[in-house]
Amino acid sequence: MEQMKEKVEQGKSLTHQELMKLSFLPLMHSRFNRQDLIKEAVELAKRIESEPKQLQVIAGILTATDKFIDEKYAKKVREWLKMTKVGRIFEEEKQEAIREAIARTEREKTIEIAKSLLDLLSPEMIAKKTGLDVEEVEKLKKC
């Protein structure tokens, strides 16, 4: 898995044999949870540059893991396969926007917590507890 992941990240093509291995990877005995392996294999396959190869591997994973795959996740993957290329790109951008919004909300909550602690703890302790930089906490103190 790691070798295939590295090749995909470098934009290199996977061999026919590697594509087949990726399709069957979730069936192999592993110390990892089978559902996690399925998701990891599908996510890696989505990053393959060649769309036909990408679709072939994902369809192979769905077929090979039919007896094991979580039905909700399988439905989500099938819907993704049915989308056009533009639809898939839009969906991925939407998911990224959702992740960014969640991260912003979490950061805003962290800042509110830090503000509420300004009268109680030192900036260093607040930074340690919240994960903010000491400089950020000092700026909050000045506001």
Residues of the chain where predicted confidence (pLDDT) is lower than 70: 84
The pTM is what? 0.54
pLDDT at 50: 87
121 and 136 inside one domain? yes
70 and 98 inside one domain? no
Number of domains in the chain: 2
72 and 103 inside one domain? no
14 and 60 inside one domain? yes
24 and 93 inside one domain? no
77 and 130 inside one domain? no
Residue 5 structural domain: 1-82
Give the whole-angstrom CA distance, residue 44 versus residue 64: 16
pLDDT at 67: 83
69 and 5 inside one domain? yes
pLDDT at 83: 73
